[in-house]
Structure 1
């Protein structure tokens, strides 16, 4: 049954931040899902990822990174668990390669990864009206960001807030999605992957994809500020470099939120400072159309360029980035 697809996907439009802040629903179709099942799944992933997996509770949602031995991020995940499995959500475009790479290191560990993308319909719900609309079906919703509930109608993850309001991912069966779609469409503005990505950007949550793999140490994209790095856990690939960046103050780069008046801005594109026009000062991490002809973006850059406030897309004479406030404090590491 694809009534949910007919009722929601075909109604998608490019939503603005003002519309997102009011209330939106968006089928998320560009994200993949890997399920690790087996009694040693937690210990295996704990030794591979930047965050604590062994103490991941049934009510927890966490960000986690997967790094190369040089500490550069190969992928970023949204992570949660059920009684049977640990789930890693990541861009669908890089899922097969990342799943294959993780599987290479399983060896004798009692865990098995599987593509779980098609098991669920993933509906993003956010903005000021989100909570009231979801209470149509759920008496209790996750009380704080990065927590979840399990319910007969599916799993509801509360992720980082944006626009001063909660955001949720509802993982439902196709049958449930078909049942609830008319109400969601009637009470919320309907978007698609663009709406979800734009809300993620305004929540300050980066995602490593095909254009940015192996470009960033986690702190460069503010990952530890979002709880995506646990500095007390044991070793994982790249751990020494990630820890050194944190404690020795060698990181001189952060990620900012900005609007770019150029629809051609894509992840992996470079930005420049007029003070040093010959070499890039940073890189675009994520973008989404903002409904005004350009994009809103998370952009990683040198702290000195960010502090100067004059950063250009594409070249030192390109469109100027219009910086916007992040929803969290951008601590510096230049001690």
Structure 2
């Protein structure tokens, strides 16, 4: 975490855990207008004249469509088409930034650096260089608009003003991320916190879950091809761009229609949210195989937890999936994703 920003948060009674997550004694629930620190997310910077061309050959999406006014969901695969990481990409001051969970940064940083060779690009950890905060909830757009000219109007939009980069993210409520140097973000936090409740950083992931946005963690790195976790449905895969590692498998899966597993949104009546990679059970599953795995899960303010799960399609259709390794575990209650699934 940026040292100046850390001192600022601690002066505002923030509690910073060893996991990098920020907590507040009187945290909001995220149900209303909420303000989040996002320092637990890692940030990779790609700079240099070859940055875009280099990245184009490494990722699932078309970097040519990553412009200063548009962000992009993206992923990096192994030769078998399995995701090693996924991330949000955006441009700022001529550089490209990739944002992903902090514990995923070292492996992606190492992998990208391996392929630089003679390309004129520098790949560095920028997590402590820029401060990132989020604001979400009804009234978020109006609040930002009262402080900053022209915040992004729709999901995926990006604006730059007063040393700040504003990114509008998809979700079930207006949601923005703000990136900048510590002094500028400190000033904005003071203004926002007069109306938005400072809320534990961990609650931000729940907004991703409800938006149907998957996150790859160390426990699930290499476990999914992009279509298994709906990345093609949320603009995370381009089927028109050139080659990248794993592209042949990803394209073949799409064009042959051979997908047997996909991601769904579920509610689970448990006080202990499962971890990413935890297995699921269904009597309808293929013999000897788990019905699927948890992609991500977080406590829900109304009780229990909400989760994204990747499961065998027949098990979802049978509606008999349970957490754990038997029918004794709590049954998953499936809910609608905010986007349409392919047929």
TM range (shorter): over 0.9
Matched, 1:9 2:14: yes
Q: 2:335 aligns with which of 310, 318, 324?
A: 324
> Does the alignment pair 1:273 with 2:288?
no
Q: Shift in Å at residue 155 of structure 1?
A: 0.5
* Structure 1 gap segments, 5+ residues each: none
Q: Post-superposition shift, 1:217?
A: 0.5
1:33/1:88 contact within 8 Å kept: yes
Q: Which range is displaced more, 66-75 or 282-291?
A: 282-291
Corresponding residue of 2:143: 133
TM-score with structure 1 setting the length? 0.93
Question: Given that residues 45 and 124 in structure 2 are in contact (C-alpha distance below 8 angstroms), is that contact kept between their aligned partners in structure 1?
Answer: yes
Contact 1:48 1:237 (8 Å CA) reproduced: yes
> How many angstroms apart in 1 are the aligned matches of 2:228 and 2:304?
24
Matched, 1:310 2:320: yes
Q: What TM-score does the superposition give when structure 2 sets the normalisation length?
A: 0.90
1:85 maps onto 2:90 in alignment: no
What is the deviation of 1:147?
A: 1.5
Cα distance change, pair 254–15 in 1 and its aligned pair in 2 (3 A): farther
Give the corresponding residue for 2:42. 32
Distance in 2 (alpha carbons) for counterparts of 1:8 and 1:76: 33
Distance 1:132 1:200 in 2: 22
Aligned residues: 327
- The question of whether the paired residues in 2 share the 8 Å contact of 1:8 and 1:190 is answered with no
- Alignment partner for residue 211 of structure 1, among 202, 212, 219? 219
Gapped regions of structure 2 (runs ≥ 5): 16-23
Which is bigger in relative contact order (C-alpha 8 A, separation at least 6)? 1
- The SS at the match of 2:65 is coil
Is the partner of 1:210 in helix, strand or coil? coil
> What's the C-alpha RMSD, in Å, of the aligned pairs?
1.8
Distance 1:15 1:299 in 2: 27
Mapped to 1, the partners of 2:13 and 2:217 lie a distance apart of: 25
Deviation beyond 6 Å, 4+ runs, structure 1: none
1:256 aligned to 247, 261, 264, which one?
264
Corresponding residue SS for 1:233:
coil
1:230 to 238, 243, 249: 238
* Secondary structure of residue in 2 paired with 1:254: strand
8 Å CA contact 1:13–1:192 kept in 2: the answer is: no
- Report the Cα distance in structure 1 between the residues aligned to 2:71 and 2:235, rounded to whole angstroms: 10
Query: Does the 8 A contact of 1:158 with 1:168 survive in 2?
Result: yes
Confirm or deny: 8 A CA contact 2:276 2:295 kept in the other structure: yes
Counterpart Cα distance in 2 of 1:54 and 1:7? 41
